[in-house]
Chain A
């Protein structure tokens, strides 16, 4: 609650949070079917209509309403982003915690495994996973989660190593607390701050990657609306229907901006050392 209040007082945090709330509302309304038009139904008579009072953001080549499709596309992007970052943060935290706690051979093996995964440029690793499993929404979620897991493992391992040597952890051991209790209550709870920042920034990156994979035709498959797919479709029509590029492009950018601003604000709030030089 204290962090939320601080976030809302922070100038960029306020803007970032407002964008995220706006996107969540749009996605929620889209999921409930409360879109101005049916996002999937084709109206050939209304194809490539420019923005107007009846079609706020115009229509595409098949006469589908861009605004309604954007609402569904935002939902799709957020589902992929949240699910993949949730997966990555849980898996990465477990790996990072165990590596720090057990140390020795376990630490070496787990960290070398993360090194191997980090040896691939992120989009390439995602492409490799898609090559194996085939394109689709679930594959995108898995690919982004796998790509981000080693980063979370590293974010958790470093501070967990120093926490492990602190007096309160020794005291908990002396009092006979179980390993699970110490790991979750004493280590993980103290890592909430760096994890929160990382989760927010990872969400921005996941949104970007989801849109990129869909843009390449390897993410969400048609006819489901996706921001990346909408942008890819707009490429051949941009001279006649620039709105097909403009609105999905702005939507992707604004979403990433929202998470980036929130992440930066959270870093300022939770790590006062960065506050003075925050860019």
Chain B
């Protein structure tokens, strides 16, 4: 149990470290926070107004006190007020999160549906032409940045098929599932492209390892059909590294696919961070970054724990 306990114990510690890093790094920004928030408009403030604002935001307190006040607020669900939106930062983040979550899930689905069959195909036809083709495609896929894939998709859709992907607005899944899918499918393909390439490579590699194992030879010797040996005996074991990779990639995607959301003008979490940075909305930057890091840590924790659960060979206690 010690590995699981150790992972669970270090989780809040790392989260605390993340909060320290986020809070104090934002305070490293040159100039005072009020000028940073209001930009040129800060010049119009009288000293009394400035002092009043500093008092309102708690900026007249020592920075360590500010940190603990901020942390205490976080623990009570108070992430501060977004300067751009003028409402609680957590609310703004939670409005954007469903899109990001849906996009991440859809991309992962695409990646697994494409990557696993291709990986299995390549491994079962090791060193044959079809294996070589899959390997080349996977390497090209892994080397193509998602913004290149996104631009090519937009170009192909608009020039070859006369379709302009809907941009800017977003229809939630609960309102109109078809319109929602229409808006997310191309960004999801864009994100799923390199993801599928990684899944293909790791699945092929794991399948090659497993196909050489004794129990597979035994299954074959007992006369099990080749298809059954591959899909029922070999694949479940080869999926362990695929699960790990998918979990980690999913964690990254939950962080907001900043570039793809920007290309397709999707109002997701990544684009929110970018907006907050460009408009110097630091309460929102802090909250969004912390929220993303929290999700990322939770997903990684789940992946680690799942890994322990699905692979009995992992000795509990070994990190």
- Point out residues on A near B: beta carbons under 8 Å: 12, 112-113, 115-117, 119-124, 127-132, 204, 208, 211-212, 215-216, 228, 231, 234-235, 238-239, 242, 245, 249, 252-254, 256-257, 260-261, 264, 276-279
Given that A124-B289, A279-B138 are known contacts, is A238 also in contact with B151, CB under 8 Å in the complex? Answer: yes
**A249 engages B151 (CB within 8 Å):** yes
Interface string of B192-220 (1 = CB under 8 A from A): 00000000111011001100000000000
With A and B bound together, what is the CA distance between A120 and B254 in angstroms? Answer: 11
Q: Cβ of A216: which chain B residues have Cβ within 8 Å of it? A: 258-259, 262, 274
Given that A119-B18, A235-B263, A279-B201 are known contacts, is A128 also in contact with B151, CB under 8 Å in the complex? Answer: no
Q: Shortest distance in angstroms between B260's beta carbon and chain A's nearest beta carbon?
A: 10
**A212 engages B155 (CB within 8 Å):** no
With A and B bound together, what is the CA distance between A59 and B195 in angstroms? Answer: 33
**B151 engages A127 (CB within 8 Å):** no
Q: Cβ of B144: which chain A residues have Cβ within 8 Å of it? A: 253, 256
Tally B residues with Cβ within 8 Å of A. 53
Q: Cβ of B255: which chain A residues have Cβ within 8 Å of it? A: 120-121, 123-124
Given that A115-B10, A127-B277, A231-B151 are known contacts, is A121 also in contact with B296, CB under 8 Å in the complex? Answer: yes
Q: Cβ of A211: which chain B residues have Cβ within 8 Å of it? A: 145, 147
Q: Shortest distance in angstroms between A150's beta carbon and chain B's nearest beta carbon?
A: 12
Cβ of B46 within 8 Å of any chain A Cβ, yes or no, is: no
**B17 engages A113 (CB within 8 Å):** yes
**A257 engages B143 (CB within 8 Å):** yes
Q: Shortest distance in angstroms between A12's beta carbon and chain B's nearest beta carbon?
A: 8
Give the residue of B25, B135, B158, B256 whose beta carbon is less than 8 angstroms from that of A128.
B25
Q: Cβ of B305: which chain A residues have Cβ within 8 Å of it? A: none
**A119 engages B293 (CB within 8 Å):** yes
Q: Cβ of A128: which chain B residues have Cβ within 8 Å of it? A: 22, 25, 285, 289
With A and B bound together, what is the CA distance between A279 and B206 in angstroms? Answer: 10
Give the residue of B18, B159, B274, B297 whose beta carbon is less than 8 angstroms from that of A127.
B274
The A-contacting residues of B in range 219-268, CB under 8 angstroms, are: 251-252, 255-256, 258-259, 262-263
Give the residue of B10, B15, B143, B296 whose beta carbon is less than 8 angstroms from that of A260.
B143
Given contacts A130-B277, A212-B259, A279-B204, 12 further A-B contacts (CB under 8 A): A115-B14, A121-B255, A121-B292, A127-B273, A128-B25, A128-B289, A129-B25, A208-B145, A211-B147, A253-B140, A260-B139, A278-B205
Q: Shortest distance in angstroms between B178's beta carbon and chain A's nearest beta carbon?
A: 27
With A and B bound together, what is the CA distance between A208 and B208 in angstroms? Answer: 29
Cβ of B142 within 8 Å of any chain A Cβ, yes or no, is: yes
Q: Cβ of B139: which chain A residues have Cβ within 8 Å of it? A: 12, 257, 260-261, 264, 279
**B147 engages A215 (CB within 8 Å):** yes
Cβ of B63 within 8 Å of any chain A Cβ, yes or no, is: no
With A and B bound together, what is the CA distance between A239 and B163 in angstroms? Answer: 12
Q: Shortest distance in angstroms between B35's beta carbon and chain A's nearest beta carbon?
A: 15
Q: List 10 A-B contacts (CB under 8 A).
A: A116-B17, A119-B18, A121-B255, A132-B25, A215-B147, A216-B258, A239-B159, A253-B148, A260-B142, A279-B135
Q: Cβ of B138: which chain A residues have Cβ within 8 Å of it? A: 279
With A and B bound together, what is the CA distance between A276 and B126 in angstroms? Answer: 10
Q: Shortest distance in angstroms between B310's beta carbon and chain A's nearest beta carbon?
A: 21
**A115 engages B147 (CB within 8 Å):** no
With A and B bound together, what is the CA distance between A235 and B147 in angstroms? Answer: 10
Cβ of B44 within 8 Å of any chain A Cβ, yes or no, is: no
Cβ of B94 within 8 Å of any chain A Cβ, yes or no, is: no
**A277 engages B277 (CB within 8 Å):** no
Q: Shortest distance in angstroms between B242's beta carbon and chain A's nearest beta carbon?
A: 13
Q: Shortest distance in angstroms between A117's beta carbon and chain B's nearest beta carbon?
A: 8
With A and B bound together, what is the CA distance between A254 and B140 in angstroms? Answer: 9
Q: Cβ of B289: which chain A residues have Cβ within 8 Å of it? A: 120, 124, 128
Q: Cβ of A129: which chain B residues have Cβ within 8 Å of it? A: 25
**B209 engages A132 (CB within 8 Å):** no
Q: Shortest distance in angstroms between A226's beta carbon and chain B's nearest beta carbon?
A: 13
Cβ of B13 within 8 Å of any chain A Cβ, yes or no, is: yes
Cβ of B28 within 8 Å of any chain A Cβ, yes or no, is: yes
**B258 engages A123 (CB within 8 Å):** yes
Q: Cβ of A238: which chain B residues have Cβ within 8 Å of it? A: 151, 154-155, 158-159
Cβ of B29 within 8 Å of any chain A Cβ, yes or no, is: yes
